[in-house]
Amino acid sequence: MKLSERELRLSVFIGEGDHWHHKPLYTEIVHRAHKAGLAGATVIRGIEGYGATSRIHTTHLFHVSDNLPLLVVIVDTETKIRDFLPELDDLGIEGLVALDDVEVVRYTPSTRKRHRIWR
């Protein structure tokens, strides 16, 4: 069974070298999202990118970067996402935070019971 609904996606673009209180910033964002009861959070590591400094960070063989781009993605209801935004204020984020409407398709188990045939 498929259920479709409108939700809000929060995307936080940061660097791998960004820290908060001596731990990775992405870890703190994920833990705060979990504590806030948000549906889920995913951290995606980029292989190349640049931001406000215009310095390109890459995993290229001859140029090893210690600050690759990271993207923290959280999707939930608009109310929950907007209520969560103040949690980011004191983290000293020096990156882009983007919000966009998304259509979410949730796949749920069928209500019809499946019978297993044993041989």
| Predicted confidence (pLDDT) per residue in 3-54, tens digit | 778 999 999 999 998 999 999 999 999 999 999 999 999 999 988 877 777 7
Domains recognised in the chain with CATH numbers: 2-107 (3.30.70.120)
pLDDT at 116: 60
CA atoms of 102 and 42, how far apart (whole Å): 16
d(CA 37, CA 16): 25
More reliable by pLDDT, 41 or 59: 41
The pLDDT score that the predictor gives to residue 60 is: 61
At residue 48, the pLDDT reads 80
Tokens encoding 90: 């004191």
Query: What's residue 63's pLDDT?
Result: 56
Average pLDDT over residues 75-87: 97
pLDDT, residue 67, reads: 77
If one compares 106 and 78, the residue with the highest pLDDT of the two is: 78
Smallest Cα–Cα separation from 36: which of 97, 86, 90, 72? 86
